[in-house]
Each structure stands twice: as C-alpha cells, then as structure tokens.
Amino acid sequence: MSELRKDPIVDRWVIIAAERGQRPSDFKTKPEQPRSEGCPFCEGNEANTPPEIFAIRDSGPPNSPGWRVRVVANKFPALCIEGDLARSGIGQLDRMTGVGAHEVIIESPRHSDDLPSLSTEHVVEILATYAQRTCDLRRDDRFRHTIVFRNYKAEAGASLSHPHSQLIALPFIPKLVKEKLDSAREHYRRKERCIFCDLLEQELALAERVIYRNDHFVILSPFAARFPFSVEIYPLAHAHDFVEMDSAQQCALADALQYILQQYKITLSNPAYNMTLQTAPSTLPRAGHPDYWGTIAYDFHWHLEIFPRLTKMAGFEWGTGCYINPVSPEDAAEYLGKQSQPARNDQP
Ligand SMILES: [Zn+2]
Ligand SMILES: [Zn+2]
C-alpha cells in the first residue's frame, strides 16, 4: 500500500506510491501510444481494464461493448481503495496509510475521438459522470476531497492517448486547495460576500480578461496567471459545488469547455494541457469540528482551471513556488477570445 507523508516545514502531504512498480528506466521519455492497437480503453477491450465501476450505456451488460462513457479503477493507482485510514507520527513526521480512490473516466469508446469535437450531449454525459463519481465517493467518510483532472498528451502526464480523465479521492485536503478554501472563508467572514463573485463582477465589468461567455459560464484569463494562456471557467451564478449543476448549466459548461479546447487547438497548435476541477470538499462532519464547513455554500465558488503546457517549470519555479509568465493575461485573453470558432462536428 502507498503511504502519505507530510512535509513538516510547509505542511504539505505527499503520496509515496512506490509500489506502482516503476523502475528508474520507466522515467525515461516514452513515445505516446499513437494508435488504438492494444489500447485497453477502446471498445471491445473491456477485459483488459479493472472491472467497470460506472458506465453510461446504449446496450450490453457491464464490462462489454455498448457504452458511451465508462469508469474503471486505475490499474496503477496512486492510492488504494481498500483499508482503514491509520495515522501515525514520529516526532515532527506525520504519516497516513495511502487510502484513497483513483479512477479513470474513459470519455468515449473510440480512440480517435477528442473532447472538443464530441457532440455537446456527449460532453454533458462526461460531466454528469464526474458528478456521479464525486457524489458516490463523498459518501465514504475516509475521504475529505475529490479532484477530477484531465491530462492531455504525454507532456501533460497522459500515458494513453485514448480520451480520458481521472479522479482521485483523498483522505486530506491538498495544500493548494486548502489555501483557496481558507482564503474564500476568510473573505466571507470579513465581508459576508463570496470572493469569487466579487472578482467575477469586476472582471465582467472590465472585460479585458474575458475570453468567452455564454448564458451560464464565463472563461477568464486570470489576472495573475502562472502559465501562458491558462484559463479559469466559472459559473456566472454563485455555486459552491459542481455536482449541483442543472442540465442547462451542464450544456453551457460543455459549450464553454469545447470552445476553449478548440481555441487551444487552432491558435496554439493543439498543446498538451492539464485541467483540474476545483469544487467544494466533502462536508461530512469531522470529529471535534461540527461546524468546520458551516459557510462553504456561501464562501466558495467552484471552477475549472486549464493549464496548457507551453513553458517548463525550471529552477526558479521549483525553488521558489514563484512563476514567470511570458505572456500577459490581457494579450492571452485577446488572442483566445478573438479567433473565430469553427463549426464543431456534432455527430453523436
Ligand atoms: Zn483506445
Ligand atoms: Zn460566488
């Protein structure tokens, strides 16, 4: 089983997942798997993945062809779903058993499909799958936070080119997420307003960092973006939790997501990227902290973040946590917002 260890100086948990079985030679750069041959995520190869946890199907029993979206456990999980959560410590050093969930959301039965060119209805089904899995894992009181993410292309960490996202449920709240949650809660405590709603109001009025807007969502180029052409997608109406979207909002999010991914393809020559979903943590009561998440529904505002992998983290960034972004967020907004959007292929 993997182990969680906390850095005692900066208060950051790290997953030590040595039994994923990687040898030093596994860290050499490998070419991306370009073809569907032998791909375990392709329709017809269901026997080559762990058993299905969830699927949206046209036909057939579990673990057979006929699905449109399929969820399986990661074959090489960073964390293990079985086992009790045990905490221990030696002096200043904290550790926990590596309990968690690590799932793969296979977004299409077809290897050559790509998120921006899927039908909007299909993207809505993928988003609904994120919500279903998040809700299900929140019922497990060992887990404190669930993060959905998408790594696109090998440079962004994808080991298979078949379209997929992943989900990890953690027994702790990660440092970056916690910093956001704490900042939002503190703003609310002082002002009784959501810090993200305040920010959105200002950005929509200024418009210079607005890339795209539809009835329910806005895509922003963040004021202090760490990476060139990174974006954040926010619901226009205050909402703390991704899973509470209605169908109109899901359609609008699918539209916004497909817009920006298509723009990346056209204007930045299809870069690798990482996408992460920042939503409310599990609000199951914690022993000794019955009101810990008392204001979360008012103080936090969920959003998606997308980071194209156009620059490399170098010594300065690794050593300081401080970033150098060579493109102004205003120029990025203009560039990504002004290009015309081609017609999408709306076949189911
Ligand atoms: Zn495939
Ligand atoms: Zn808000």
Find the mean pLDDT for residues 182-204. 95
Per residue in 250-267, pLDDT (tens digit) is 999 999 999 999 999 999
Q: Are residues 55 and 148 in the same domain?
A: yes
Q: Are residues 219 and 130 in the same domain?
A: no
294 and 162 in a common domain = no
What token pair was written down for 338?
């002004």
pLDDT average, residue stretch 332-342: 75
Q: Ligand 2: distance of its center to the CA of 224 in Å?
A: 19
> Are 97 and 1 contacting, i.e. CB atoms less than 8 angstroms apart?
yes
Q: Has residue 20 got a pLDDT over 70?
A: no
103-111 average pLDDT score: 97
Q: Could you list the residue range(s) of the whole structural domain that residue 294 is in? A: 178-339
Write out the residues surrounding ion ligand 2, Cβ under 5 A: 194, 196-197, 238, 301
Does pLDDT of 344 surpass 50? no
How many domains is the chain partitioned into structurally?
2
Question: Are 50 and 164 within one domain?
Answer: yes
| Cα–Cα distance measured from residue 161 to residue 164, given in angstroms and rounded to the nearest whole number | 8
- Cα(138) to centroid(ligand 2), Å: 22
Distance 110 CA to ligand 1 centre (A): 6
- Binned at pLDDT 50, 70 and 90, residue 292 comes out as confident
One domain for residues 168 and 188: no
Distance 229 CA to ligand 1 centre (A): 29
Ligand nearest to the CA of 240: 2
pTM confidence score: 0.90
Q: Is residue 226 within 8 Å of residue 325, measured between CB atoms?
A: yes
Average pLDDT, the chain: 89
Give the ligand whose atoms come closest to the C-alpha of residue 194: 2
pLDDT-derived band at 293 (thresholds 50, 70, 90) equals confident
What CATH number does the domain containing 67 carry?
3.30.428.10
The DSSP letter of residue 100 is: -
325 and 216, same domain (yes or no): yes
> Are 200 and 333 part of one and the same domain?
yes
Q: Is 26 helix (H, G, I), strand (E, B) or coil?
A: helix
Q: Quick one: residue 321, left, alpha or beta (phi over 0 = left, psi -120 to 50 = alpha)?
A: left
Active site residue 164: yes
69 beta partners: 56
Contact 277, 242 (CB under 8 A): yes
Residue 283: DSSP 8-state = -
**How far away, in angstroms, is 332 Cα from ligand 2 center?**
24
Separate counts of helices (H) and strands (E) for the chain? 7, 14
- Ligand 1 geometric centre to CA of 111 (Å): 4
- Based on the number of CB atoms within 10 Å of its own CB, is 126 exposed (0-12), middle (13-18) or buried (19 or more)? buried
Region 310-332 average pLDDT: 89
Which of 172, 207, 242 represents a domain boundary (last residue)?
172
Same domain, 100 and 152: yes
Domain end among 172, 194, 218? 172
Euclidean distance between CA atoms 283 and 220, whole angstroms: 28
DSSP-derived 3-state class of residue 126: helix
- Choose, from 145, 162, 164, 303, the residue flagged as catalytic: 164
Question: Where residue 340 falls among pLDDT bands split at 50, 70, 90?
Answer: very low
For residue 260, the number of C-alpha atoms closer than 13 Å in the C-beta half-sphere is: 32
* pLDDT of 22: 59
User: Last residue of a domain, which of 172, 204, 228?
Assistant: 172
Q: Same structural domain for residues 119 and 193?
A: no
> Does 299 or 91 have the greater pLDDT score?
299
Q: Among 278, 310, 275, 225, which Cα is nearest to 115's?
A: 275
| Ligand showing the shortest atom-to-Cα distance for residue 107 | 1
CA of 107 to the centre of ligand 1 (A): 10
Share of the chain above pLDDT 70, in %: 91
pLDDT for the residue numbered 35: 61
* Count of all residues that appear for the chain in the document: 348
Give the pLDDT confidence score for residue 346 in this predicted structure: 45
Residue 348 within any structural domain of the chain: no
| Residue 318 included in any domain | yes
Could you give the angle at which helices 195-206 and 175-191 cross, rounded to 10 degrees? 90
Query: How, if at all, do strands 3-7 and 12-16 pair?
Result: antiparallel
User: H or E stretch including 254?
Assistant: helix 247-267
For the segment 141-170, what is each residue's pLDDT rounded down to a tens digit? Answer: 899 999 999 999 999 999 899 999 999 999
Whether residue 165 sits in one domain with residue 128:
yes
Note whether residue 301 is domain-resident.
yes
Is the pLDDT at 343 greater than 60? The verdict is no
Ligand approaching nearest to the C-alpha of 297: 2
